[in-house]
Structure 1
């Protein structure tokens, strides 16, 4: 593939990633996808960029995932294409802190977090917001941590707005996370209302325990799993704010 190395390097520089960071991210993907063939070494990528070597579809898929390339941008790596990686919007860089003032990313942010959600006072109790067609993907919902809900403080403050992935409802075991920032946070429905926090299941999957943050003053709470409590989904994003 003529000049593909130049295009790949341009995409990597656009994202402000080092060769070693690409290797580390590809290693995580190889582990998640269960195939060591997805791992990309820093030395191999360096040769591809310098010598314009060809690469397999497997390697292209990994690099597209690491660089966040769309299908059109992937085609831009092919010869004679008019879509170049450098045309990717600057706001997509994961290693840069940017103020979202314009562009597609700013527009998507406003879809999932309208101004009204930010300016209105949060409710007293944790609440699941109504579905609004066309604003966010159908398997996502939004919720607000109530003013009286201190379960995850100080990590997630009362009044925060959360984005919930309803396709991820399985309670993760202890081996699936390493620390509190890696530990899944769940949004749940009980007979008396909504709650959010870390969760544990007993060995028989009969009882679900809501675990507060270690610095919170809240205590553990327990319900019969799928009889007294249901998992709405896993928290995928958090907008934290202060309220009067």
Structure 2
């Protein structure tokens, strides 16, 4: 694979009309700009990369991408490293703590629904896949027009039972960073009560919150949760990142190892 990638690099260089010495000179300038000689590529080493399958370092990959005006991800893909697969591969390890979800792919374009059934009604529960009439490729530079508000995304840790059973461990969260004010009242049920995403000095928390008269932030778990309430100085020891405004949660494949169904006979219906 390294030989194939090297051949592609050579063909790319030659198609641009660049010599080995040209690349060496350009890499010297890049190394000087960054104050790091790791970016420098001697012409002899570039020849080895192209013809002998020598693996370039991440610094030299950057240099080649810059000089050839080529996407860094494309060069990585030539070597069998598909950076857009990071999000998919990130589920191989269950992370116990709640954390920000940052392994989001950044391709040049995304597949999005561009035509939706006119009968789509947001008030009704329905299969969204059946409502999408056409998928299309949208260039990434046009993505900002789809953005509404300032949102971040987070993943509820596989061992975070703070809001259980309202929010299952492993839930994907959408957080509105524009809503940081803690509301102590105004909801009619637990489903309307705001849930906040909070960053402490040690971890991220997702919970109901209260602010006391002494400016202390109270992390209030769900009444059925085994987690105890916690109190932090606010904002010194705990910062409210925002309010949870959306969740993606699976209901059928989460199991807690130490939970056993009580052996109680079911009541007869008649």
After TM superposition, the score normalised by the length of structure 2 is 0.44
After TM superposition, the score normalised by the length of structure 1 is 0.49
If asked which structure has higher relative contact order (CA below 8 Å, sep 6+), I would say 1
Mark the structure with the bigger radius of gyration.
2
